[in-house]
Amino acid sequence: MPTTAPAFSDATASDSALRRFLHGLPGVDAVGLEARAASLGTRSIKTTAKAYAIDLAISMIDLTTLEGADTPGKVRALAAKAVHPDPTDRTTPRTAAVCVYPDMAATAVAALAGSGVKVASVATAFPAGRAALDVKLADVRDAVAAGADEIDMVIDRGAFLSGRYLKVYEEILAVKAECARADGPDARLKVIFETGELSTYDNIRRASWLGMLAGADFIKTSTGKVATNATPANTLLMLEAVRDFRAQTGVQIGVKPAGGIRTSKDAVKFLVLVNETAGEDWLDNHWFRFGASSLLNDLLMQRQKLSTGRYSGPDYVTVD
Amino acid sequence: MSDNRLSVFKTYKLYVGGKFPRSESGRVYEVTAKKSATGEAGTGKWLANAPQSSRKDARDAVVAARKAFGGWSGATAYNRGQVLYRVAEMLEGRKEQFVREVADAEGLSKSKAAAVVDAAIDRWVWYAGWTDKIGQVVGGANPVAGPFFNLSTPEPTGVVTVLAPQESSFLGLVSVIAPVIATGNTAVVVASADSPLPALSLGEVLATSDLPGGVVNILSGNTAEIAAPLASHQDVNAIDLTGADAALAKELEIAAADNLKRVVRPQPVDGGSVDWTADPGTHRLTAFLETKTVWHPTGALGASGSSY
């Protein structure tokens, strides 16, 4: 795959060309965007559709632990949960991936070997991204060498907000190059914009296009470490961006909202957004993910309710 | 002037998690007055529309009760007593409203209704006093055949579903709620189906009485409809079937068996009505307590010969 879609090769020729391109994107109607996201959130999803949505949502989860207090034991426990989310019901689908810090990637790879669950590792001085480029690249190299299937990088928000778009672009290119593997498939690159720090919807649209032009495999809302994380509105905006990008270049890119999605109801709302905006092609864990940890327990409780008819409780899922 | 005044009707709402939501289902039902002490329900004048709760309201109430359990059960018994006494103070201040609602609900004269409300407030104070005493009555040091201190302390069961009595809309209601929360449990209360107004007004009193939101949650509507999902709910620890008739009680007890809920059957079991004015005793306090026992080596008779 070319690092930049040919249709836009002149857009990334220079800093000023890139700025012209990004600032030439249509402005976002903030009120309309939020109203659209809210109205899609009112769909009633019941019975068999609900069961389908819950299983799909479970299969899309990047089960995440990104704490300073993470231990190898905790990562192994999380890996076991990713493989068998509900040990009392083996028909429960596996989650898409386990998401950890780079130094835990090897532990996660060993624990998940042969299970089909991917290992995602955050890198590039996550979550702030405030480090020199070679430090960030070393971080990525570590994670790739440890066997991570997916790399979640953060963009340099400081550079982005001060208008140095080419710096951000080149940084993503450099990280993308580190994701290559000689002896196997390349690690897929997820680019985190930290939408809560980008201030405006216009900036989120620009960041989405910047990330896609630079060759991101996934665009991701946030780190989960700031006050505002994934919202229906900013995810809708990013879904529109990947839809438009595929229409113009033929290249499909995934979307990952992360942080703040805690209930099954929220997750189902996001799935409605995906279906109504990007379309059915994205209703697959290769193209859409949830970055979440507590969401899984709520989905499991809802799943137990559907299968037994009894409301479940936190005593019947794991504490993590 | 007063002839021309438009009536200002009160919208009765549920009390869940310290807030006053309408039913998630949007349904209401008509509540009518009882004509006399012997009159059938539904034969009197229209009083108000009460929310008709759905199973989702019940589910939300359990979530609220579970959330409140940690704080309420962790509060000191002394503090719980103070809060419950504060509830009694607030009830006293709104006595006239409760007298009117109880008179309408149970077909009583004003003076009889006033006596019922007085008894209910006294009952609340009585239970408030028990919060820091029940532990000494049902717990304590146990004599054991070994060199151990052996201590038992009562702990609250958890989230308790209470089906309030159908006939005694206020004294009976207070008599089943107060003991549950006095010992540190949190409650999901299903009010009397035909006479829910005193219960819904009690919610307004609780909301202004320092009682943390979610400790008591009050639902009105069809008892069987609300009770069924609560009885089978895996996150409810106990259920008090006082307001269920014999057939419903049996059905709910079967549903409650799945997660080994503690179940209190209606008394008396032959369907006769309970005399709520009688001395309640402590059985409703102890019904929703679990006994925790700890063994602690004294060392006095140990090999080391230590003196403590």
CATH number of B134's domain: 3.40.605.10
Give the separation between CA B126 and CA A216, rounded to whole angstroms.
68
Q: Active-site residue A176, yes or no?
A: no
Q: What are phi and psi of B210, to 5 degrees?
A: 70, 0
Closest residue of A to B256, CA-based? A310
The closest of A236, A247, A255 to A32, measured between CA atoms, is: A236
- Does B42 score more than 60 pLDDT? no
Mean pLDDT of the B84-113 span: 96
Look at residue B189 and tell me whether its pLDDT is greater than 90.
Answer: yes
B273-290 pLDDT, tens per residue?
Answer: 788 999 999 999 999 999
| Mean pLDDT in residue range A220-227 | 94
Res B207: pLDDT: 97
Q: How far is B235 from chain A (nearest CA, A)?
A: 4
Instruction: Using CA coordinates, name the residue in chain B closest to A311.
Output: B233
Structural domain range at position B67: 53-90+120-297
User: Whole-angstrom Cα distance, residue A228 to residue A260?
Assistant: 8
* Cα–Cα distances in angstroms (integers) from residue A253 to residues A158, A223, A278, B75, B139, in the given order: 25, 19, 10, 52, 64
Considering CB atoms only, which of B59, B232, B235 is closest to A314?
B235
Query: CB–CB of A258/A126 below 8 Å?
Result: no
Chain B residues in contact with A309 (beta carbon < 8 A): 232
Give the rounded distance of the alpha carbon of A202 from its chain centre: 20
Report the mean per-residue pLDDT for chain B.
92
> What are the tens digits of pLDDT across the range A175-220?
999 999 988 899 999 999 999 999 999 999 999 999 999 999 999 9
Cβ atoms B226, B55 nearer than 8 A: yes
Instruction: Determine whether the interchain pair B66/A315 forms a contact, defined as Cβ–Cβ distance below 8 Å.
Output: no
Q: Inter-chain contact B234–A309, Cβ cutoff 8 Å?
A: no
Residue of A nearest to B237 (CA): A313
- CB proximity under 8 Å: A 295-314 to B: 304, 309-314
Chains A, B: CB contacts within 8 A come to 27
Domains in chain A, start-ordered, CATH in brackets? 13-316 (3.20.20.70)
Active site residue A220: yes
Which of A46, A262, A310 best tests the B interface by mutation, with the highest count of B CBs <10 A? A310
Region of poorest pLDDT, from A5-14, A81-90, B100-109, B122-131: A5-14
Reading phi first (left if > 0) and then psi (alpha if -120 to 50, else beta), residue B210 is in left
pLDDT band at A18 (very low <50, low <70, confident <90, very high): very high
Q: Fill in the DSSP letter of residue B71.
A: H
Confidence of residue B7 (pLDDT cuts 50, 70, 90): confident
Considering only CB atoms, which chain A residues are within 8 Å of B59? 311
Asked if B25 is an interface residue toward chain A (Cβ–Cβ < 8 A), one would say no
Structural domain includes residue B134: yes
Instruction: Select which of A81, A118, A136, A220 is catalytic.
Output: A220
Number of domains in chain B: 1
* CB atoms inside a 10 Å sphere around CB B166: 20
Asked if pLDDT for residue A7 goes beyond 70, the answer is no
Largest CA distance in chain A: 60
Is the pLDDT reported for residue A63 higher than 90?
yes
Interface of B with A in 60-89 (CB under 8 A): 62, 66
Establish if A46 touches chain B: CB-CB under 8 angstroms.
no
Distances (CA, A) of B185 to B124, B153, B209: 16, 15, 17
Helix, strand or coil, per DSSP, at residue B141: strand
Residue A257 Cα to chain centre, angstroms: 5
Domain assignment of residue B103, yes or no = no
**Contact A315/B at CB under 8 A:** yes
Q: Chain A interface, mutation test: which of B235, B254, B261, most A Cβ atoms within 10 Å?
A: B235
Q: B188: which strand partners?
A: B161, B217
**Active-site residue identified among A156, A256, A269, A298:** A256
Backbone φ, ψ for residue B150 (5° rounding): -130, 110
What are the tokens at B22?
């309408």
Q: Which of B52, B42, B50, B65 is nearest to B189 (CA)?
A: B65
Over 50: is that where the pLDDT of A310 sits? yes
Cβ within 8 Å of A, B 242-261: 258
Instruction: Answer yes or no: is pLDDT of A3 > 90.
Output: no
Residue B114 pLDDT grade (very low, low, confident, very high; cuts 50, 70, 90):
very high
Distance from CA of A301 to the nearest CA of B (A): 10
Inside any domain, residue B190: yes
Q: How far apart are CA A147 and CA A151, in angstroms?
A: 10
Q: Is residue B153 one of the residues assigned to a domain?
A: yes
Q: Average pLDDT of B284-299? A: 92
B19 within domain boundaries: no
| HEC letters along B156-202 | ECCEEEEECCCCCCCHHHHHHHHHHHHCCCEEEEECCCCCCHHHHHH
B233 and A316 in contact by Cβ < 8 A? no
Show the CA angle centred on residue B259, arms to residues B256 and B265, nearest 5°.
30
Measured CA distances, A69 to A44, A73, A292 (Å): 40, 11, 17
Q: Return the sign of the alpha-carbon dihedral for residues B256, B259, B260, B264.
A: negative
In the predicted model, is pLDDT for residue B179 greater than 90?
yes
Mean pLDDT of the region B215-222: 98
* pLDDT at position B306 over 60: no
Q: Is residue B263 part of a domain?
A: yes
**Binning pLDDT at 50, 70 and 90, where does residue A5 land?**
low
pLDDT of residue A294: 92
Q: Which is catalytic among the residues A139, A149, A152, A266?
A: A152
pLDDT tier for residue A2 given thresholds of 50, 70 and 90: very low
Measured CA to CA in angstroms, residue B174 lies from B73, B134, B135, B253 at distances of: 20, 18, 21, 23
Residue B2: inside a domain? no
| Residue numbers of B between 186 and 245 with CB closer than 8 Å to A | 229, 232-236
DSSP secondary structure, chain A, as one string: --SS-GGGGGGGSSHHHHHHHHHTSPPP-HHHHHHHHHHHTT----HHHHHHHHHHHHHTEEEE---TT--HHHHHHHHHHHH-S-TT-TTSPPPSEEEE-HHHHHHHHHHHTTSS-EEEEE-SSTTT--S-HHHHHHHHHHHHHTT-SEEEEEP-HHHHHTT-HHHHHHHHHHHHHHT--TTSPPPEEEEE--GGGS-SHHHHHHHHHHHHHTT-SEEE---S-SSS---HHHHHHHHHHHHHHHHHH----EEE-BSS--SHHHHHHHHHHHHHHT-GGG-STTTB-EEESHHHHHHHHHHHHHHHSS---GGGS---
Q: Is the per-residue pLDDT at B35 higher than 90?
A: no
Tell me, yes or no, whether B83 lies in a domain. Answer: yes
Q: Which among B59, B186, B233, B234 is the top mutation candidate for probing chain A, defined by the most A β-carbons within 10 Å of its own β-carbon? A: B234
How far is the C-alpha of A76 from the C-alpha of A71, rounded, in Å? 9
* Phi, psi (deg, nearest 5) at residue B272: -65, 155
Per residue in B245-275, pLDDT (tens digit) is: 999 999 999 999 988 999 998 877 655 678 8
**C-alpha distances in Å from residue B67, one per residue of B49, B159, B235:** 29, 10, 11
Residue B292, SS3? Answer: strand
SS3 B238: strand
pLDDT tens digits along A144-162: 999 999 999 999 999 999 9
